[in-house]
Amino acid sequence: MARSSTPSPPEELAEKIIDIDVSEEMRGSFLEYAYSVIYQRALPDARDGLKPVQRRILYQMSEMGLRPDRGHVKCARVVGEVMGRLHPHGDAAIYDAMVRMSQAFAMRVPLVDGHGNFGSLGGDDAPAAMRYTEARMDRAAQMMVTSIDEDVVDFRPNYDGQENEPEVLPAAFPNLLVNGASGIAVGMATNMAPHNLGEVVGAARHLLAKPDAPLEELMELVPGPDLPTGGTIVGLDGIRDAYAKGRGTFRTRATVSIEKVSPRRMGLVVTELPYSVGPEKVVARIKELVQAKKLQGIADLKDLTDRNQGLRLVIELKNGFNPEGVLAELYRLTPMEESFGINNVALVDGEPRTLGLRDLLQVFVDHRLEVVRRRSEHRRAKRRERLHLIDGLLVALLNIDAVIALIRDSEDTADARTRLMDTYELSDTQARYILDTPLRRLTKYDRLELEKEAEQLKKEIAELTAILESDAKLRKAVSKELAEVAKEYGTPRRTVLLEADGAARTSAVPLEVDDAPCAVLLSADGMLGRSKGAAVPRIYDGLRTKHDAVACAVPARLRGDIGLVTDLGRAIRLPVVEVPELPDAGEDAPPLASGLPVEEFVSLEPDERVIALACMDGDGPGLALGTEQGVVKRVARDFPANKDDFEVIALKDGDRLAGAVQLATGEEDLAFVTSSGQLLRLSASSVREQGRPASGVAGVKLADDARVLWFGAVAVPEDTVVVTVAGASGDGALVAAEGGSAKVTPFEAYPVKGRATGGVRCHRFLKGEDALVFAWIGRAPARASRADGGPVRLPDMDPRRDGSGEPLMRAIATVGSGQHDTGFLERTGE
């Protein structure tokens, strides 16, 4: 095997080794790199507000004819043209810049009209690949490149010298202020906030009219940024600093409304977020805080954002928490409030500078003055060239016969051109144009058209000359064009500006509501509500609607629980704060028509109904229960704290609760009224307390086919009456025929008896009557009502225990059975 050897380098190469100072090389290379980043990538030009890649995209789309009135093309095609002809960098950078220019939530006035998935707010969802998306120029982008072919800006060679590209775009509106900019260079960065187009144009026009206008006047026209995503800016001092010195900070807040998101709960609805903050970021942060128990009061969070209704985050709050307090915590702990640091760094004449509002407007105004001046010069030169040609052609038309003869006698084209120039004192350009003009253009009609065109050209040349010779007219022309742009593309302000309050937000509003005393009310028709005070109201004397009849009322605390007792023997726990607050009705009971049905709070069986309310917190006597089969039970207030639904009595087959009452002292009298016309009054102390699984003890002894019609407790016997209505048993719960009888008896007339007895008769049936269809025991009533709301006359107080009732002259309707109907039978006093 041959031995390998490394050849020695040529002597001339070995002699050219140069020692280089590493520090000097690093300094030079770094400066070259920094210069490239600053001028070719990161910082925008203060004149058109564009970075090189953005400028090249818009220029190339204009060259490709991708105007708004034409169809979209694949973004990959645009990226390829820009990369191949103008931008010597990767396709990812070009496509990212194009995507941003199409995002309405990133640009106040988008410059690219995108078709497809171009990402979401905050960058939570990445845009689709450029092979899937399409784009064309937006309407406003045409204003950036308008008149670019009229020598209004300078061009320079591209990276390989084979193409030319503009150094800056004409920019018919202040794009840098309107759309803002952000970028990180080497040793410097820029972060500029978007503004409202109409406001910025108004300030620019004001500066055109008054070149020495102070900053205060400009700030009256541009009060602050106008972010694409709306929201609220809190604190304008930082904005004033930024407008004066180019640097400042302000806070942006989400736009949130407090709404009722469900029949039982309030919520926060977020419709606008701070600039560059997406809903996914907010949702993730809230979930993180809730899981870490750093944020309280949130029950559910839904992101309902879509293309039809836009951004919509629904934050459902737990009952017992102040929406304002929770919102203040969300502002403090989540991206729903963010700081925006303004750093107005842009290139002015190739030099990075920090600019205030007046400087930014001045740079743009100077740029537009230069663009309009150069455009006017270009247009005047073009019109002068055209007028020069028309003047020559008119000379030929005036001497048409001689000109034709001259051309026919000439040896060749050069001879004809020379003879025309010598004979009629024409220029070379005019002579060539005459020779190139076809004979069909030399008619009498064409002569008239040429003369008309010449007059128009002279007029336009005079107007352009006036603009070029007068600075005032030049400024007026620029101002007029800006006004047209604002009228065409201006939109109302989206961001609300607020001065800083300077107060601690969380200390002003407590996070949780106060544990205030209240009373929870249940109406005869199953409506639930709570009063503002702790006093339990009596029956509403001014009865007008059946929802105003208070069937049951218990005292509670706002952050406590109550129990809904059903006729199937179960209690359902319900937080008091979930019960809607009723309007204040003064001394009367609140109108329960403004409450909510119990079905909104709990799920009931098809044949189940809520018959009473129970206190779930604290000590003291519990519930007294009475069933339709005559069973009585007292339940101790040892309800399970870890269950929201539990039984309070074990019912026998076919049995139901006829009534339930929350005892106040345990010394009340309990009462049964049966359908056979019997009333049993017994002491609550004679019934011992039992646990929840127990089935109770014998209460009242029932006759055959009889059932308990009413059960309850009486605390003040001397102020209590017994109201009974008799009828035929086939009438059910409503008495609808004449011949029925009603009776009102003092409760004191009935003696206390023992358990498991039949009690005493309370109503003797008349002819055609065989059962009680309605019974009620309570405080002396005032009036009764029929189904149509009219009054029903009740008999006077009957002291007899076993007497029969007086016949009813009119039907009694709307009266059911049980404790729920306490407000429907009240004596009129007639």
The reply to whether 66 and 192 lie within a common domain is yes
Containing domain of residue 166, as a range?
30-197
Dist. CA 560–CA 648, nearest whole Å? 20
Model confidence band, residue 60 (pLDDT cutoffs 50, 70, 90): very high
- Domain of 751, CATH number, reads 2.120.10.90
The reply to whether 423 and 294 lie within a common domain is no
Q: Which of 490-499, 571-580, 624-633 has the lowest mean pLDDT?
A: 571-580
Between the alpha carbon of residue 314 and those of residues 93, 279, 327, 510, 676, the distances in Å are: 36, 11, 12, 21, 57
Question: At 758, which amino acid appears?
Answer: G
- With b for 16 or more beta-carbon neighbours within 10 A and e for fewer, the 90-113 pattern comes to eeeebbebbbbbbbebbbbbbbbb
Dist. CA 640–CA 649, nearest whole Å? 14
pLDDT at 519 over 90: no
pLDDT of residue 503: 36
Q: Is residue 150 part of a domain?
A: yes
- Mark residue 570 as left, alpha or beta (left: phi above 0; alpha: psi -120 to 50; beta: remaining): beta
pLDDT of residue 94: 94
Between the alpha carbon of residue 797 and those of residues 219, 328, 746, 748, 827, the distances in Å are: 82, 61, 7, 12, 10
By CB atoms closer than 10 A (0-12, 13-18, 19+), residue 691 is exposed
Domain boundary, last residue among 197, 221, 237: 197
- Domain of 152, CATH number, reads 3.90.199.10
Percent of the chain with pLDDT over 70: 84
Region 635-661 average pLDDT: 88
DSSP H helices in 159-196: 175-179
pLDDT of residue 796: 60
pLDDT of residue 8: 64
The 10 Å Cβ neighbour count of residue 152 is 23
Dist. CA 772–CA 794, nearest whole Å? 16
Task: List pLDDT tens digits, range 135-154.
Answer: 999 999 999 999 999 999 99
pLDDT at 786 over 60: no
- Contacts of residue 226, defined as CB under 8 A and 6 or more positions apart, other chains included, come to 108, 194, 195, 196, 199, 493, 494, 495
pLDDT at 760 over 70: yes
Model confidence band, residue 517 (pLDDT cutoffs 50, 70, 90): confident
Q: Which of 4-18, 137-151, 319-333 has the lowest mean pLDDT?
A: 4-18
Instruction: Give which of 416, 418, 424, 422 is closest to 399, Cα–Cα.
Output: 424
Task: List pLDDT tens digits, range 187-245.
Answer: 788 999 999 999 999 999 999 999 999 999 999 999 999 999 999 999 888 999 999 99
DSSP H helices in 425-553: 428-436, 444-469, 471-489, 505-508
pLDDT of residue 789: 44
| Sign (positive or negative) of CA dihedral 807, 812, 818, 820 | negative
Percent of the chain with pLDDT over 90: 50
The 10 Å Cβ neighbour count of residue 13 is 8
DSSP, res 613: E
DSSP H helices in 334-356: none
Q: Is residue 511 part of a domain?
A: no
- Position of tokens 């010597």? 88
pLDDT at 818 over 50: no
Tokens of residue 503, six digits: 């107060």
Instruction: Give which of 687, 676, 678 is closest to 631, Cα–Cα.
Output: 687
DSSP, res 38: I
The reply to whether 96 and 159 lie within a common domain is yes
pLDDT at 803 over 50: yes
How confident is the prediction for the chain on average, in pLDDT?
84
Region 756-762 average pLDDT: 91
pLDDT at 521 over 50: yes
Pairing status of strand 570-575 against strand 645-647: antiparallel
Task: List pLDDT tens digits, range 338-347.
Answer: 999 999 999 9
The reply to whether 163 and 308 lie within a common domain is no
pLDDT of residue 338: 92
Domain boundary, last residue among 320, 335, 350: 335
pLDDT of residue 130: 95
The 10 Å Cβ neighbour count of residue 290 is 15
Region 427-449 average pLDDT: 83
The reply to whether 43 and 159 lie within a common domain is yes
Are 683 and 752 in contact by the 8 Å Cβ rule? The answer is yes
The reply to whether 44 and 91 lie within a common domain is yes
Domain boundary, last residue among 458, 489, 520: 489
pLDDT of residue 186: 76
- Contacts of residue 43, defined as CB under 8 A and 6 or more positions apart, other chains included, come to 51, 183, 185, 188, 190, 345, 346, 347, 352
The reply to whether 279 and 138 lie within a common domain is no
Task: List pLDDT tens digits, range 154-169.
Answer: 999 998 889 999 999 9
Question: Which one is predicted more confidently, 264 or 767?
Answer: 767
pLDDT at 782 over 60: no
Q: Is residue 299 part of a domain?
A: yes
pLDDT of residue 446: 76
Question: Which one is predicted more confidently, 594 or 604?
Answer: 604
- Position of tokens 């809607």? 580
The reply to whether 298 and 401 lie within a common domain is no
Region 720-735 average pLDDT: 70
- Domain of 262, CATH number, reads 3.30.1360.40
Are 759 and 804 in contact by the 8 Å Cβ rule? The answer is no
Q: Is residue 6 part of a domain?
A: no
Q: Is residue 129 part of a domain?
A: yes
Helix (H) or strand (E) holding 611: strand 610-615
Question: Which one is predicted more confidently, 715 or 470?
Answer: 470
pLDDT at 611 over 60: yes
Q: Is residue 769 part of a domain?
A: yes
Instruction: Give which of 353, 38, 374, 368 is closest to 175, Cα–Cα.
Output: 368
pLDDT of residue 31: 66
Model confidence band, residue 366 (pLDDT cutoffs 50, 70, 90): very high
pLDDT at 784 over 60: no
Rank 439-453, 513-527, 693-707 by mean pLDDT and report only the highest: 693-707
The 10 Å Cβ neighbour count of residue 352 is 17
DSSP, res 509: S
The reply to whether 96 and 169 lie within a common domain is yes
> How many folded domains does the chain comprise?
4
pLDDT of residue 222: 95
pLDDT of residue 817: 30
Are 629 and 703 in contact by the 8 Å Cβ rule? The answer is no
Q: Is residue 212 part of a domain?
A: no
Which phi and psi (to 5°) does residue 409 adopt? Answer: -85, -10
Tokens of residue 480, six digits: 């007029």
- Mark residue 406 as left, alpha or beta (left: phi above 0; alpha: psi -120 to 50; beta: remaining): alpha
Tokens of residue 547, six digits: 């929802």
Model confidence band, residue 125 (pLDDT cutoffs 50, 70, 90): confident
Q: Is 134 helix (H, G, I), strand (E, B) or coil?
A: strand
pLDDT of residue 504: 34
Task: List pLDDT tens digits, range 83-118.
Answer: 999 998 889 999 999 999 999 999 999 999 999 999
The reply to whether 422 and 315 lie within a common domain is no
Active site residues: 132
Model confidence band, residue 802 (pLDDT cutoffs 50, 70, 90): low
Region 489-495 average pLDDT: 93
Region 298-307 average pLDDT: 88
Cα 466 off chain centre by: 53
The reply to whether 329 and 380 lie within a common domain is no
Model confidence band, residue 501 (pLDDT cutoffs 50, 70, 90): low
Q: Is residue 276 part of a domain?
A: yes
DSSP, res 265: -
The reply to whether 85 and 149 lie within a common domain is yes
Instruction: Give which of 315, 367, 446 is closest to 47, Cα–Cα.
Output: 367
**Which residues on neighbouring strands pair with residue 625, listed in sequence order?**
633, 660
pLDDT of residue 499: 81
pLDDT of residue 4: 54
